[in-house]
Amino acid sequence: VREVVVDAQEWDERYREKELVWSAGPNVFVEEELADLPPGRALDLAAGEGRNAIWLAERGWEVEAVEFSPVAIDKGRALAERRGVDVTWTEADLTLDPALEPADLVLIAYLQMSWDPFNGVLAHATSLLKPCGVLLVIAHARRNLEYGYGGPQDPALLPEPEPVAALLTDGGLVVDRAGEVVRRVESDEGTREAVDLLVRAHRPGMSRV
Ligand SMILES: C[S@@+](CC[C@H](N)C(=O)[O-])C[C@H]1O[C@@H](n2cnc3c(N)ncnc32)[C@H](O)[C@@H]1O
C-alpha cells in the first residue's frame, strides 16, 4: 500500500529511494492515446522522472516537463540525455498556476491530489491549451479502491471521470472520452489489474495540419 505523499520534499525522498520509481517507457494509455497525434509543443504536468515527456520528445514533440521535485527533474534530465533527446524541465508547484506558454498537448498523468486543488490544476491546464490542442488526464480512479490494485488508498485523492469532464467542458473544451480503463500491473503477487481514470478532450479550432 502506497503512502500519501504530499509535498516536494517527500517526493524527493521517494525519488531518491530507487533508481527509477516509475517505468523508463511511457504509460500504456499515453502511448495508445497520443501515438497518432502530429507533434507540436507539449506540456507534461507533474512529469516525475519524465517517462512520458521523453517518449513524446522521441516522437518529435517539443516538450516542457513541469514538476515540483528537483530530484525527479535531475533523474529525468539524466534519462533524457541518455536517450539523446531534449526536454525542457521546469521546477514549479502546479497548485500555484505557474506561468507557462500555451501548448498543443497538455498531459497530466497520476497527479493524485484532493479535488481542491486538483480542480484548479485542471482549470489552469485547460487555459494552456491552444486551439485544436489535446488535454489528456490519466489518474488512479476512485473505483480502483474497490476493484483495482495499487495507487493511493485515500478516496479524496482518487478522482472520478464526471467532475473532471464537466470542468473541462466549462473551460471550453470538447470531451472526446471520459471513463475508466483497466491497466495490467506486474506485482509481487503476479499480474493484477488497476482501474485508471482517462479523460481526453480538445479545444475546438482550426486544424494544425
Ligand atoms: C505518481 S507521480 C507521476 C509522474 C509522471 N506523471 C508519470 O506518470 O510517470 C506524481 C508526480 O506529481 C508530482 N507532483 C505532485 N504534486 C505536485 C505539484 N503540486 N506540483 C508539481 N508536481 C507535483 C510529484 O512530484 C510526482 O512526480
Cα of 22 from ligand 1 centre, angstroms:
11
What value does the mean pLDDT of the chain take? Answer: 94
Pocket of ligand 1 (CB under 6 A): 11, 22, 27, 46-48, 51-52, 67-69, 72, 93-95, 109-111
Q: pLDDT at residue 88 above 50?
A: yes
Q: pLDDT at residue 209 above 70?
A: no
The closest alpha carbon to 9, from 71, 58, 81, belongs to: 71
The whole-number pLDDT of residue 1 equals 36
How many whole angstroms from its chain centre is CA 130? 18
What is the pLDDT averaged over residues 96-112? 98
Q: What distance in Å separates the CA atoms of residue 98 and residue 179, rounded to the nearest whole number? A: 28
Cα of 46 from ligand 1 centre, angstroms:
4
What is the pLDDT averaged over residues 102-112? 98
The residue whose CA has the least distance to atom 26 of ligand 1 is: 48
The closest alpha carbon to 118, from 156, 145, 87, belongs to: 156
Q: What distance in Å separates the CA atoms of residue 175 and residue 62, rounded to the nearest whole number? A: 24
Residue percentage of the chain with pLDDT more than 90: 90
The whole-number pLDDT of residue 3 equals 44
CA distances (Å), origin 174, targets 134, 157, 196: 10, 25, 21
Question: pLDDT digit string (tens) for 118-174?
Answer: 999 999 999 999 999 999 999 999 999 999 999 999 999 999 999 999 999 999 999
The residue whose CA has the least distance to atom 14 of ligand 1 is: 46
Cα of 87 from ligand 1 centre, angstroms:
16
The DSSP secondary-structure symbol of 95 reads G
Q: What is the pTM of this model?
A: 0.95
The whole-number pLDDT of residue 24 equals 77
The residue whose CA has the least distance to atom 12 of ligand 1 is: 46
